Amino acid sequence: MADKHIVFITGANTGIGYEAVKAFMRSPKPYHILVGSRTLGKSRNAIAAATGEVTGSSSTLEPVAVELASDESIDEAFEAVKSKVDRIDTLINNAGAAYDSYDFSQDVPNIRSIFNKAYDVNVTGTHVLTAKFVPLLIKSSSPRLLFITSGLSNITAHSKAFQPAWAPKPRAGWPKEKLIVSLGYRSSKVALNMVMVSWHWLLLEDGVKTFCISPGFLATNLGGVSPEQLKAMGAGDPWIGGEIIRKVTEGERDADAGRVINQNGIQDW
């Protein structure tokens, strides 16, 4: 592995994580990609699909099972990875989940469940995994730590107008029906931004460059809405997110460490 940059991507079997796998495979730089998924079966299926789509790559792929809602699963993933590699050069916290519906009035009776499950995966689980894998990360000569956030975490934009800008605007009256609010998801991503900033300072003297990446509105399966429906709403192709992750990993945005970055520059807090 000495000649390859070792990346560990959570949630790598679908969406932006899967596109990141393919982006690394297309790079002229050789990678050893630890493909994290909730089960080994999903990881192996993703590896088979990616190697079928991207041929002739100098990179290698290896399956890893990890469930962010389980400390036991995170511990087992760490032991499995540690037994095969001596370091991780880039840790990409991509796995995430959304439990809000696309009708706020339907979410109101389920607020506690929606918020608790979103925070468990997107914030707590991600933080636990990062803390577990830091000993391998700081062994790298060029370590990077990435957290995949969302444009919906932009409090500055929310303070100026209802977001997302393309969604129907709230009207007077109750219940607030047919509104896309995604409040559990977006709140968890705001919290994730704080997790990133905290890790930025915690690992600064270890030479780790830490980022949040806000890939933009892309057509993934997150939240149970089909990519086709999302594209009809104006979502972009998920490969865009994969390319941003590759560019950050390869040092193209090092000057922006400690910030939330997007395709065009820096995202406001």
Active site residue 189: yes
Rounded Cα gap, residues 133 and 171, in angstroms: 46
> Which phi and psi (to 5°) does residue 225 adopt?
-100, 135
Can you give the C-alpha Rg of the chain in angstroms? 18
Catalytic residue among 42, 43, 187, 189: 189
Residue type, 89: D
Catalytic residue among 37, 43, 57, 150: 150
Residue type, 28: P
Residues 22, 239: contact at Cβ < 8 Å?
Answer: yes
C-alpha to C-alpha distances, 103 to 107, 110, 178, 182, 221, nearest whole angstrom: 7, 12, 5, 9, 17
Rounded Cα gap, residues 132 and 123, in angstroms: 14
| DSSP label at residue 151 | G
Residue type, 113: S
Catalytic residue among 99, 185, 188, 209: 185
| CA-closest candidate to residue 152, choices 183, 177, 117, 175 | 183
| CA-closest candidate to residue 243, choices 13, 14, 59, 21 | 21
Active site residue 119: no
How many helices (H) and strands (E) are present in the chain, helices listed first?
Answer: 10, 8
Residue burial 39-60, b: 16+ Cβ < 10 Å; e: rest:
eeebbbbbbeebbeeeeebebb
Active site residue 185: yes
- Which residues are marked as active site? 150, 185, 189
